[in-house]
Structure 1
Amino acid sequence: MELEKGSVIQNYIIEDLLGEGGMGKIYLAREELTERRVAMKMLNTALVRDDEFVRRFVAEARILSGLLNPNIVTLYNFFRFSGTFFMVLEFAEGETLKNLIKKTGLLPEERALLILSRIASGLKYAHSKNIIHRDIKPSNIIVGAGDEVKITDFGIAKIMGDLSFTLAGTKLGTVLYMSPEQVLADKSIDHRSDIYSLGVTFYEMLTGRLPFGSDSEGLYAIMDSILKKEIPDPREIYPYITPDTVALLKKMTEKERENRYADFDSLLKDIRQIIKRLPELTGSFPAQQELRETTAAASAQSAETAAAGAEVQGTDKNENARSSGDSEKAPELKNETPTAVKPEPAKNSPYRKAREGVITEFAEVEGGTFLMGNDGRFDQLVKKMFKTVKVTEGMPNEKPAHEVTVRSFLVSVTPVTVRQFLEFCRVTDHPVPVEPPWGFHGDDPVVNVSFKDAEAFCRWSSTRLLTEAEWEFAAAGGMKSQGFKFSGSNNLDECGWYLKNSKGTVKGVGLLKPNELGLFDMSGNVWEWCADFYSDNWYAESPRENPSGPKEGVYRVLRGGSAFSREDFCRIFTRDSALPGHFYQTIGFRVARDL
């Protein structure tokens, strides 16, 4: 049965088709007398002869008729018409949480916690009415204005104590979000199964991906993972999630339901405590206190003087500090309007938007396997600088060259610019970086930012820093690599600003030749923070798939060289490091997002 626009079903006028699935279709309709817009759910006429599907559809209507909560869609009417059944539901404006995650990528922790609390509140109410949803997943959550949520699709919900609805041995629900007891078709499923599925949904909000499997993976493999494997630490995907939130997620998704939250009251209590404490847990931009305690004064020496002793293994060791008297107001950009304006997109580069007006352009990096490190091809460059190093050895921390596989990801086409970072400071009251000797220019890469400053920016913009392996893979041109020693060319003057051509100052991003992926400034201009802890000997023990650095350490990885670097420090495999709380006028960063 197909309903055309303008069709009248009882006193409801059909306006549009909203969606369809195996059980039927959902239409946008208007109530004739009240002009109220509603969602009309119609059971597929082919299923009307199937008693099980009819019983399930009627059961959903009966369940919804007893639920009245701001976080659950409201049932207005239920009737039989022209040989099938119709539910008339509240029309929840917005989009599914699944589409929101697909569109924006992972959600900032605070936003994810807020949405989680609202879903949990709706489920708490349903459970108070002895209703278990049994199919909690992002596609069954509508997110509206102000991140208000509506839980939908109680089609396989169960009334606690009623064992007749599910046949013995039948598994209902979407496997990717199932609790272990659902996988086992346990007859005694209770509200803790919904807590587990909500935990998987929360993991997807925090990371942009599922903990186990995918829609293309085999059913048995997914079910086996749900039963036997622990939910991965979400910080393996996005490292800036607070430990309290990770602990909350872990407790929601324990294999044994006795170890999960006993009820939604205790879950909501912990969620609200974390939300309340989140500024404290994140340090409310943790670099602020540490950096303000730094006592070294901002360097006043000229760029040429700084360059003379600037690079010790590639890094400017002349530390610049922010004074406690830093202005709370972002400074004006030199010769420019100090408002947030989108930078000009790099030509011929694929892009996706992250946060409107902030990071506007990303290149998609197709995952693959590559040789990471120095295989000896360019050791002659090293010998020129370090007379004691044998040609066959190169720099020890670049060896051994080893095969690494990385998954696909998005990377910003340029380093984060002054304009973008000052917008972040303006919105969040984050401390403004020390102005370098050459001044603030909007399209220059931002400098004098610590690793912790970069982390704070990432949290705010729903991005992350690249791992060291991702950085080198992207700098080398990914699967399109032509084997250049610098990012985009064997001639550094073509693709990077360094000691010989920079005239002692960083330059605006995107002015020289991009690499094979359309990425600019990965060799020279500014060193770039990576997410990994640094270790001289890491390559000898690094895992081969999606490595993310040592588990702990003191220093963080730097890559790419700077406008003050000699040529050999700008090779794609040159490695360096710095203390995460320190900042330098040679260091900036670029950001990434998961696909």
Structure 2
Amino acid sequence: MRGGLLAASMALVLLPVQANAGEVWARIPAGAFTSALRYADVPGQTQMEAFELMRTPVTNAQFKAFIDQHPEWRADRVPRAYAESPRYLAQFAPGAAPEHQRPQQPVTGVSWFAAQAYCQAHGARLPTWNEWEYVAAADATRRDARTDPAWRERILGWYGKPSTQPLAEVGRDPPNAYGVQDLHGLVWEWVEDIAALLVVADKRDPGSGNELKFCGGGALNLRDPTNYVVSMRLALLSSLQPADATANLGFRCARSIPSDAPEKPP
């Protein structure tokens, strides 16, 4: 039953969508990266290829434009296999509180399937876990600030704040060293290979081999058990099913760069 869900969900995207003016892409250079996760089949650094990542999360306005062109992803039409939660796009429901409907707030209540469909309609995809962590490791001046205790404490402080206030608009935080904003403290974000973060069977397509992409046959753990920033993200994402939707989970898109593409000036 689940084996065809991914292909079928992509088939729901029938027409290309023009990219909105607010979709600005940051070019992320290639480089060596030591993931916070320890892979049995990758003992050291991973060589990251160059890619592009949206500078900010997808907004309510951007996702609303998408479902206007693709109404099959509206809450009243999407198949339950792709959005099981009653929280799916709750902010667009009649009678929803205005403070959750601001156009420049990050869209939340989006399932993995809907997020991936949005990205694919824009010629993109969800970022992988490694891509997201690679960019999220940066602060304003350093490409990798993860060993700085003050940086970790600041992020943990953001994650620990009670979510009693409406979400802020995207672009509130200064860009990091890659020119990307709002990676910490605004919303959690889907990644493409969410199912592979578990050491158990793949949640999307049994037998696909995706469950081995991260765990290398079952041996996955943290290189640094005290890295609570990554532990919190991993705990949240690995607890989700692709059809889940929550009020604090959004996404941004990534896209690969052809190997023969010219380098952009810094």
Task: Report the CA distance between 1:512 and its aligned residue.
Answer: 2.1
CA-based RMSD = 3.8
- Give the whole-Å Cα distance in 1 for the aligned partners of 2:152 and 2:100: 31
Of the candidates 431, 444, 448, which is equivalent to residue 74 of structure 2? 431
The unaligned stretches of length 5 or more in structure 2 are: 76-88, 201-207, 215-226, 258-266
Report the equivalent of 2:253: 591
Of the candidates 447, 462, 466, which is equivalent to residue 108 of structure 2? 447
Give the secondary structure class of the aligned counterpart of 1:465. Answer: coil
Comparing 412-421 with 509-518, which one deviates more in the overlay? Answer: 509-518
Task: Report the CA distance between 1:360 and its aligned residue.
Answer: 2.3
Instruction: Report which of the two has the higher share of strand.
Output: 1
Q: Quick check: 1:492 aligned with 2:134?
A: no
- Give the whole-Å Cα distance in 2 for the aligned partners of 1:404 and 1:241: 27
Structure-2 change in CA distance of 1:485 and 1:359 (3 Å): farther
Q: Quick check: 1:407 aligned with 2:49?
A: yes
Q: How does 1:496-535 map to 2 (within 5 A)?
A: 497-500=158-161, 503-532=164-193, 533-535=195-197
- Give the whole-Å Cα distance in 2 for the aligned partners of 1:471 and 1:496: 20
Structure-2 change in CA distance of 1:448 and 1:485 (3 Å): farther
Task: Report the CA distance between 1:357 and its aligned residue.
Answer: 1.9
- Give the whole-Å Cα distance in 1 for the aligned partners of 2:183 and 2:199: 23
Task: Report the CA distance between 1:485 and its aligned residue.
Answer: 6.1
Report the equivalent of 2:118: 457
Task: Report the CA distance between 1:285 and its aligned residue.
Answer: 5.1
Q: Which has the larger radius of gyration?
A: 1
Q: Which runs of 4+ in 1 moved over 3 A?
A: 280-283, 488-491, 495-499, 501-505, 535-538, 568-574
The unaligned stretches of length 5 or more in structure 1 are: 1-239, 243-279, 287-353, 376-396, 539-549, 557-567
CA contact (8 A) 1:414 1:521 kept: yes
Q: Quick check: 1:477 aligned with 2:138?
A: yes
Amino acid paired to 2:124: T
Report the equivalent of 2:84: none
CA contact (8 A) 1:466 1:531 kept: yes
CA contact (8 A) 1:465 1:591 kept: yes
- TM-score between the two structures when normalised by the length of structure 2: 0.63
CA contact (8 A) 1:374 1:401 kept: no
- Give the whole-Å Cα distance in 2 for the aligned partners of 1:355 and 1:469: 28
Task: Report the CA distance between 1:583 and its aligned residue.
Answer: 0.8
CA contact (8 A) 1:450 1:580 kept: yes
- TM-score between the two structures when normalised by the length of structure 1: 0.30
Amino acid paired to 2:66: F
Q: Quick check: 1:551 aligned with 2:197?
A: no
Task: Report the CA distance between 1:455 and its aligned residue.
Answer: 1.4
Give the secondary structure class of the aligned counterpart of 1:410. Answer: strand
Q: How does 1:314-353 map to 2 (within 5 A)?
A: none
Question: Percent same amino acid at aligned positions?
Answer: 25
Aligned residues between the structures: 203
- Give the whole-Å Cα distance in 2 for the aligned partners of 1:485 and 1:507: 28
Task: Report the CA distance between 1:424 and its aligned residue.
Answer: 0.6
Q: How does 1:78-97 map to 2 (within 5 A)?
A: none
Structure-2 change in CA distance of 1:409 and 1:281 (3 Å): closer
What CA deviation, in whole Å up to 9, does each residue of 1:147-168 have, x standing for no partner?
Answer: xxxxxxxxxxxxxxxxxxxxxx
CA contact (8 A) 1:369 1:403 kept: yes
